[in-house]
Amino acid sequence: MIFTDAELGYLAGQRLGRLATVAPDGTPQNSPVSFRHNPDTDTIDIHGFKLGASRKFRNVAATRVVSFVVDDVVSVDPWRVRGLEIRGEASALAGEEPPASYLSPEVIRIHPRRIISWGIAAEEAGLRARDISA
């Protein structure tokens, strides 16, 4: 498994992440999306409404590189934040069976290559980073 139990638990409790994609001209796009960890493929799967018509879907089809960040503010005073940045290669897939009927048959499927985390594990201080082999 790519993710730790603490990371999977954190991801399951968050509604939105922000997905950065890159257009063929090298400029980034960044947008909030819902997501789920797909246990069958050990990937982050992003469905959506009319996803196939979106610029992020076309960007992924063209350049494949993404960075997906899920984070939140745990407390303001003292200031405490936590989150995961998942950098990787993504596929823009069509014709998948969506996990819910209101979701698009298209999916952006992220294969993690580097994971950076902060504040997720109880004993954790500062940033942790690790590479995931392809």
**68 contributes a contact to a copy of itself by CB under 8 A:** yes
What's phi and psi for 21, nearest 5 deg?
-125, 170
Q: Among 3, 7, 10, 21, which residue sits at the site for a copy of itself (rule: CB under 8 A)?
A: 21
* Chain-centroid distance, C-alpha 41: 14
Q: Site residues for a copy of itself, window 31-50 (CB under 8 A)?
A: 31-32
Q: Which one, 39 or 126, has the nearer CB to a copy of itself?
A: 126
Q: How far is Cα 115 from Cα 84, in angstroms, rounded to an integer?
A: 7
Q: Among 2, 36, 37, 63, which residue sits at the site for a copy of itself (rule: CB under 8 A)?
A: 63
Q: Among 83, 92, 103, 115, which residue sits at the site for a copy of itself (rule: CB under 8 A)?
A: 83
CB neighbourhood size of 77 (10 A)? 5
One-letter amino acid for residue 22 of the chain: V
What's phi and psi for 123, nearest 5 deg?
-90, 0
Residues found near a copy of itself in the complex (CB under 8 A):
15-16, 18-22, 26-32, 63, 65-69, 71, 73, 76, 81, 83, 85, 87
